[in-house]
Amino acid sequence: MKQILLKLNHLSIRHKIIALLLLISILPSIGLSIVTGYTVERILDKQASEHTLQLLGQVNRSLETYADNMQKVTYLLSMDREVDLFLGKSNHQSEENMYSIRQFMQGLSTLYPEIAGILVVNNKGDYISNELYSRSDVNLTNESWYKEAVQNKGIFKILGHPKDRQITSHVNYKNSEVVTVVRALLEPETQEVKGVILLDLKLRVIAEATRDVRLGKSGYLMVIDENGKGIYSPAQPLGIQLPNKILKAQENSGFFSEVVNGNKLQFIYQKQPFTNWTTVGIFSTEESVSEVRAINIYVVCFVFFVCLIGITSSYYLSNSMSKPILKLMSVMEKVQTGDLTTRYKGRRQDEIGMLGRSFNHMIVKINELLQLTEHQERQKREAELRSLQAHIKPHFLYNTLDTISWMARKQKNNDVADVVSALSKLFRIGLNKGNDIILLTEEMMHIESYLSIQKARYREKLNFTIEMDPFVREMKILKLILQPMVENAIYHGIKERRGPGNIRIKVIEEQGQLVMTVKDDGKGITAEKLEELREKLNTLYDNKDRKGKEIDIGYGMMNVQARIKLTYGEKYGLKIDSQLGEGTTITIYLPVQR
């Protein structure tokens, strides 16, 4: 024993972990599968028996309802005055009396469709019926069913299937298709038998109450009387006879199993106190065994899965030193390709975990440096723009333009005065004290001043319309983003077409974005040139395409695209659509800022 323990101590940690995980996962799973299979088999057998007993109870209640209806019919007949006259001592009955009784019987058959026929016989052998009649001139008081009713002394009795009786039906029911019930009518004072009422119950109603009950794939229900004779039995696929212990049983219900003709069958029975019938359910236990077998298959699959997980987990733990290193190498390879958003994810407290966290910290620092460089570059561009603006003396320029406008109006040159005023407003809004963000209304005033100046030059050749949603007037946007678009529309669109041209400017809020559209009906752009423009807008500051071909595009449009993306991000910017001979549409997407 010590040698075995000593050998186990010399095993590597990897093999010890594997052995431990296999012991604590596989052996309990196998034991659990055995206990589960045994428990499930017992539970399924118990549930199947209880469920079948509930079905038998429902069938018995239906059959007793039919039997109770038959008894009520005998009471109704016994209390009828015309029937009472027929059972009396008078030897002659009027046709009117006989017709009234038959009508009453017909009404009862209609009210209770389970009745196959009604027969009333008095103690002299005379009878009256709605469906039944005697085969010969025999005295019906000598029939066995009549004598059994007399012996029962007025108590309702179910005889079962008719046998050797001299009565037949207009419908010609077979004996196996009906069940006969009888009741003797007694004189209350003398207890003398006045006659007997015979009713035939259609076996079809019993069949309807039992055939819809399914006991597995091959099980079925049958009904027997107190002597073990069959009242109802479907085609018996199992081909067996009922054990005697059902007839000898003292309990009203129960179940047991027996091997019959090599098949293990389950018998479940329940007796009916009113009719003394017994409803028996028969089905093969192999069907429940097949269900248990299916559950066992699932359990075996579960055990196999647990074993697979156990083996996999053991190898995972044994390789826990190599996999984190490979993971860290994979993260480094992604960073090497330029993906600085990836991070080493792990909470290990060993040396590998510390190395991963240090690597993450280094990536964060690199990101911060890149953002700082980008911010400094943006500040450099803004400084260049402000330097350009500083060379213009705003106040001197405004005062000079106001002086020119005043002199033009004094000389009654109103056209010149209007153009100078528009130019003054254009510069005033364009410079805006060095601020880059202005109200949308100010931007629209700026573009309207620009179009007024161009209108003075082109006159009837240039027409323009400006539409702006009232809800967007107070929004803030970058300044000077519409003027380059309108300038391109005039010089590359309207100017190149024959006849007057139109420029339509529209500003709306759509799907959480501010959408500005500049549309002209000018010359338009060819498909090849349009593709080059779109590619250039995406590459921003690259003056040549990938093939080294120079692309002719306005600096203003590229400047607007760069300013929008630097200020608001890659989500926003310009979109250009055009068709040769029909015009060009430039759409500007900006965020909503109120």
Task: Using CA atoms of 362, 367, 372, 373 in order, give the dihedral in degrees to the nearest 10.
Answer: 100
Q: Clarify whether residues 207 and 238 are in a common domain.
A: yes
Q: Which amino acid is at 317?
A: L
Q: Clarify whether residues 303 and 337 are in a common domain.
A: no
The Cα–Cα gap between 143 and 182 comes to 12
Are 197 and 144 in contact by the 8 Å Cβ rule? The answer is no
H/E stretch holding 70 reads helix 13-79
Dihedral of CA 361/364/365/366: which sign? positive
Neighbours of 233 (CB within 10 A): 15
Q: Clarify whether residues 368 and 284 are in a common domain.
A: no
Q: Clarify whether residues 243 and 375 are in a common domain.
A: no
Q: Clarify whether residues 241 and 372 are in a common domain.
A: no
The model's pTM: 0.42
Residue 281 forms part of a structural domain: yes
Q: Which of 531, 430, 525, 540 is nearest to 482 (CA)?
A: 430
Q: Mention every residue, 6+ apart, whose C-beta is less than 8 A from residue 462.
A: 451, 454, 455, 490, 494, 500, 501, 503
Q: What are phi and psi of 554, to 5 degrees?
A: -65, 140
DSSP state of 261: T
The Cα–Cα gap between 180 and 157 comes to 9
- At 192, which CATH number? 3.30.450.20
Q: Clarify whether residues 47 and 96 are in a common domain.
A: yes
Coil vs helix vs strand at 222: strand
Report pLDDT for 383. 58
Residue 517 bridge partners (DSSP):
506, 587
Residue 384 forms part of a structural domain: yes
The Cα–Cα gap between 117 and 170 comes to 9
Tokens of 177: 């298709």
Q: Clarify whether residues 158 and 67 are in a common domain.
A: yes
Residue 425 forms part of a structural domain: no
Q: Clarify whether residues 182 and 279 are in a common domain.
A: yes
Residue 232 forms part of a structural domain: yes
- Residue-number span of the structural domain to which 106 is assigned: 12-309
What's the structural domain count of the chain? 3
Q: What are phi and psi of 225, to 5 degrees?
A: -90, -175
- Boundary-marking domain end, from 283, 309, 335: 309
The Cα–Cα gap between 210 and 410 comes to 115
Sort residue 257 into left (φ over 0), alpha (ψ -120 to 50) or beta.
beta
Q: Clarify whether residues 480 and 335 are in a common domain.
A: no
Residue 405 forms part of a structural domain: no
Determine the angle formed by the axes of helices 527-539 and 555-568, rounding to 10 degrees: 40
Burial of 62 (0-12, 13-18, 19+ CB in 10 A): middle
H/E stretch holding 590 reads strand 583-591
Q: Mention every residue, 6+ apart, whose C-beta is less than 8 A from residue 517.
A: 504, 505, 506, 507, 585, 586, 587, 588
Q: Clarify whether residues 213 and 148 are in a common domain.
A: yes
Per-residue pLDDT of the chain (594 residues; tens, 9 = 90+): 566 655 556 655 556 666 666 677 667 777 777 777 777 767 766 766 677 777 777 777 878 888 888 888 888 888 888 888 888 755 556 777 788 888 888 888 888 888 888 889 888 888 888 888 887 778 888 888 888 888 888 888 888 888 878 888 888 888 878 888 888 988 888 888 889 999 888 888 877 777 666 665 667 777 777 777 777 777 655 556 666 666 666 677 777 777 776 677 777 777 777 777 787 777 776 665 566 667 767 777 777 777 777 677 767 666 665 567 667 778 788 878 878 778 877 777 777 778 888 888 888 888 888 888 887 777 767 755 665 555 445 555 555 666 676 667 667 676 776 676 666 666 666 555 556 788 898 888 888 888 887 887 788 888 999 999 988 888 999 888 888 898 888 888 888 888 889 999 999 999 889 999 999 998 888 889 888 888 888 876 444 444 444 444 556 788 888 888 888 888 899 999 999 888 999 999 999 987
Are 569 and 493 in contact by the 8 Å Cβ rule? The answer is no
DSSP characters over 158-227: EEES--S-SEEESS---GGGEEEEEEEEE-TTT--EEEEEEEEEEHHHHHHHHHT--BTTTBEEEEE-TT
Are 432 and 479 in contact by the 8 Å Cβ rule? The answer is yes
- Boundary-marking domain end, from 347, 362, 388: 388
Q: Clarify whether residues 197 and 74 are in a common domain.
A: yes
Residue 182 forms part of a structural domain: yes
Report pLDDT for 504. 94
Determine the angle formed by the axes of helices 322-336 and 351-390, rounding to 10 degrees: 10
Sort residue 487 into left (φ over 0), alpha (ψ -120 to 50) or beta.
alpha
Residue 489 forms part of a structural domain: yes
Q: Clarify whether residues 382 and 492 are in a common domain.
A: no
Burial of 456 (0-12, 13-18, 19+ CB in 10 A): middle
- Alpha helix ranges (H) inside 181-241: 203-211
- Boundary-marking domain end, from 340, 357, 388: 388
Residue 314 forms part of a structural domain: no
Angle formed at CA 44 by CA 41 and CA 45, multiple of 5 degrees: 85
Q: What is the Cα Rg of the chain in Å?
A: 53
